[in-house]
Amino acid sequence: MEKQTVPSTTIRWDIGTAYELFISLHVLNAPEEFGLRASWAAGVRSRIPAESRKVLEDLYSLTGVPIKWLSTLPEPKDAITALWALKQIPPAERLLQIYSIRENCIVVGDSEKEKQYQKIMQIILRVSEERAWTQADLTFMTDFLIKHEKKTSKEKIATYLDWCSRPEELGEAFLAALQAYYQAFFEEEEKRVAPVLADGLARAKKLATKLNINDLFSELSQGVQLSEEFQAINYVLVPAFWTTPLIFFDRLDKDTLLLFFGARPATMSAIPGELVPDGLVRTLKALGDPSRLKILNYLSKEELTPSELARRLHLRAPTVTHHLRELRLSGLVNLKVQGQEKRYSARIEALDMMCNILKDFLQAPPEK
């Protein structure tokens, strides 16, 4: 009998502020998901000229971050590189190319969800080619996307299809909107973020010499365990500023997972000029709720699912899920994904770290 060999895991590293150009827009359009103040995000968006701001609002909730395309950019992989590369693509093809829509129309996944997602790509491609969409297109996309993307709406999807039916105008407007965003906010922000990414990459590479892939994954993701959902033969690990402490990932191919890990230190705020670390604020806010303290009490003793916690606390499942998300944003829980089930445990070392950060903050010289 021939002996089967298990492929060894390989890790590659990547870095670039081009990723942050798109990721920051994602965060600014859904700040609460990343623990940031909605009022601050709205203030940043208001700096973008109204026409370009409207384009980004129309598109971004349904397009997201073109991770695969960004990973192929040449060095130095900064924002200017991304804007230059985008400009080289014919306007009518811009969104189709950077979001791999033609490619996704060909590749068929195994699950029903993947097949439905493929059908959406086929709809977008056809609408772009025929310059028109139908009520059936809208109905299918609405039924699928509202189920899986809770914050979208039928109106937003109709607006997106309208844009897709005008591909040349869409390509020009999208590039102009990104350029306007770069000039209004990201050009200056890039200077602040770049050294943080470099430090985060150096720190991760050092950890990789000491930890196996499972422990490295858990450390860089601040508590997510390497379960089946994240299994791959090849990993591309990329430091990210704006998504800290959450992870962001996509498959480049069936064997390769690209994963963004949080590189922003817990002592630093995401908001420029803010001296109070937002991680500290999130942790204190999370611990200020009696239900979350009870959840941590249970999780410090055993690993539990949201439904198990709901039964013990006599709370509705959505309420427990909300509390767990706040604890995850604060880095206070470990998360293990097993199929459709999520299991949580307390991350006590994060609580110890935040206690030290609080002491250091209180003992620091007062702001002048």
Q: Does the global pTM surpass 0.85?
A: yes
Domain boundaries, the chain: 34-189, 278-363
Give the pLDDT confidence score for residue 6 in this predicted structure. 41
Give the pLDDT confidence score for residue 367 in this predicted structure. 67
Give the pLDDT confidence score for residue 273 in this predicted structure. 87
Give the pLDDT confidence score for residue 112 in this predicted structure. 77
Cα separation, 362 vs 305, in Å, equals: 36
Task: Find the farthest-apart pair of alpha carbons in the chain and give their distance in angstroms, rounded.
Answer: 75
Cα separation, 285 vs 37, in Å, equals: 13
Cα separation, 60 vs 62, in Å, equals: 5
Which CATH code fits 278-363? 1.10.10.10
Q: Strands across the sheet with 234-240, in order?
A: 10-13, 234-240, 256-262, 248-253
Cα separation, 234 vs 257, in Å, equals: 6
Cα separation, 105 vs 110, in Å, equals: 14
Cα separation, 309 vs 319, in Å, equals: 10
Average pLDDT per block of 10 residues along the chain, 368 residues long: 55 97 93 90 96 94 89 96 98 94 66 83 95 96 79 89 97 98 97 97 96 92 85 94 90 92 92 87 91 95 95 94 93 87 92 90 78
Cα separation, 260 vs 221, in Å, equals: 8
- The runs of H, that is alpha helices, within the chain are 17-29, 38-46, 50-63, 67-71, 79-88, 94-98, 101-106, 112-130, 135-148, 154-164, 167-181, 187-208, 213-220, 278-287, 290-299, 306-313, 317-329, 348-363
Cα separation, 221 vs 243, in Å, equals: 11
Cα separation, 239 vs 266, in Å, equals: 14
Look at residues 28, 277, 52 and name the one whose alpha carbon lies nearest to residue 178.
52
Give the pLDDT confidence score for residue 248 in this predicted structure. 86
